[in-house]
């Protein structure tokens, strides 16, 4: 599963290869409320076909009408703004006071979209720099802290996975979680030393390794853009990885298992000299409460909690699965997430 903006690049590349003209539209600035964030993209083909989104739909309609009525006339990038006046904000469906600024770039073989896609396929974080006067494009390896910006007449956009997710275990739940995370611009690594679980695994864009999980976590040098989720149910694999992750700067560390199993896990982790503050960082049972039962639903629950933590949502606005209503006290009804 590709992210929306990666899908835009791939589609634009395919349009160019088939002989169509197209342009790439990028959100470069917003004021007040706006439907899409800075960096969101839209591709428009010469017949008005679109991929991606830069607003709730009305701005897209205007951009499409321009292309259908006049074709793609731009020879170099152009900056346009919507929503400056109250009437225009109302016309384009922007919230009161909302304004959005867009860069519209006509694409060609010189735009280096295919080269960019090749580098993204290798997992590289890339800064694409477009000269707004000439349209000339350069590609450079981006730092993890790089942000989109316009400076000195150059638009610099950042492409590639900005966040990392390490999943311990290669079961069905891991597959769903990896797919959702990949679609949200995470670089996903799945680790499982058990060959029987790795057999048959084939998920494009997701790295599968057979190292011991704790070794992987140490070698990964987890930072504030990293997350670790342990899903094997095997303490020999999960606990050692969690021990290292909880000592790191990872923004999110989670583990599957029932309330009782996670209480036992915390007691075991205390034996590894983890302090109370480190143990308090463990999300276990992992995920927020949405009544999830199936692997796909549980994956959404985990990804929702991870996203909330990443975005700084206050904990009191979420109901973690650990605080969900207790299930009936029968083994058959116990839920193991």
What are the pLDDT digits (tens) for 112-124? 999 999 998 887 8
Encode 60-94: b = buried (16+ Cβ within 10 Å), e = exposed: beebbebbeeeebeeeebeeeebbeeeeebeebbb
Position 94 scores a pLDDT of 59
Percent of the chain residues topping a pLDDT of 90: 63
**222 φ, ψ (degrees, to nearest 5):** -55, 135
Domain boundary assignment for the chain: 4-121, 163-333
pLDDT tens-place string over residues 301-316? 999 999 999 999 988 8
Position 150 scores a pLDDT of 95
Q: Which helix (H) or strand (E) holds 107?
A: strand 99-107
Query: If you average pLDDT over residues 157-162, what whole number do you get?
Result: 86
- Of the options 2.40.128.20, 3.40.50.720, 3.40.50.300, 3.30.2290.10, the CATH number for the domain spanning 163-333: 3.40.50.720
DSSP 3-state of 91: helix
pLDDT tens-place string over residues 259-301? 999 999 999 998 888 889 999 999 999 999 999 989 999 999 9
In the predicted structure, residue 247 carries a pLDDT above the cut 90:
yes
Q: Which residue has the tokens 């996903």?
A: 188
pLDDT tens-place string over residues 60-80? 888 999 999 998 988 999 999
**129 φ, ψ (degrees, to nearest 5):** -110, 125
CB atoms within 10 A of CB 26: 24
Mean pLDDT of the chain: 88
Greater model confidence, 333 or 125? 125
Position 134 scores a pLDDT of 94
DSSP 3-state of 3: coil
At 333, is the pLDDT very low, low, confident or very high (cuts 50, 70, 90)?
Answer: very low
């Amino acid at each position: 599963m590709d992210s929306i903006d990666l899908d835009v690049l791939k589609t634009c590349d395919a349009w160019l290869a088939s002989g169509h003209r197209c342009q790439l539209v990028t959100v470069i600035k917003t004021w007040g409320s706006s439907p899409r964030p800075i960096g969101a993209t839209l591709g428009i083909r010469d017949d008005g076909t679109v991929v991606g989104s830069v607003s709730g739909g009305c701005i897209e309609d205007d951009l499409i009408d321009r292309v259908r009525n006049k074709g793609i006339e731009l020879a170099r990038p152009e900056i346009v703004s919507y929503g400056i006046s109250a009437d225009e904000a109302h016309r384009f469906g922007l919230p009161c006071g909302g304004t959005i600024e867009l860069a519209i770039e006509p694409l060609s073989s010189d735009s280096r979209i295919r080269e960019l896609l090749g580098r993204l396929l290798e997992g590289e974080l890339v800064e694409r720099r477009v000269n707004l006067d000439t349209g000339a494009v350069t590609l450079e390896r981006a730092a993890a802290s790089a942000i989109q910006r316009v400076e000195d007449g150059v638009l610099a956009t950042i492409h590639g996975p900005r966040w990392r997710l390490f999943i311990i275990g290669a079961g069905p739940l891991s597959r769903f979680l990896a797919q959702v995370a990949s679609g949200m611009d995470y670089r996903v690594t799945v680790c499982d030393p058990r060959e029987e679980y790795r057999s048959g695994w084939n998920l494009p864009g997701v790295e599968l390794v057979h190292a011991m999980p704790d070794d992987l976590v140490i070698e990964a040098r987890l930072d504030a853009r990293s997350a670790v989720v342990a899903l094997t149910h095997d303490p020999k694999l999960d606990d050692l990885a969690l021990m290292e992750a909880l000592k790191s700067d990872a923004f999110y560390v989670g583990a599957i298992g029932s309330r009782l199993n996670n209480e036992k896990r915390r007691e075991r982790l205390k034996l590894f000299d983890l302090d109370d503050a480190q143990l308090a960082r463990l999300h276990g049972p992992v995920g927020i409460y949405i009544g999830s039962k199936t692997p796909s639903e549980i994956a959404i629950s985990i990804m929702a909690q991870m996203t909330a933590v990443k975005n700084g949502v206050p904990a009191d606005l979420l109901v973690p699965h650990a605080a969900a209503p207790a299930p009936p006290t029968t083994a058959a009804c116990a839920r193991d997430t």
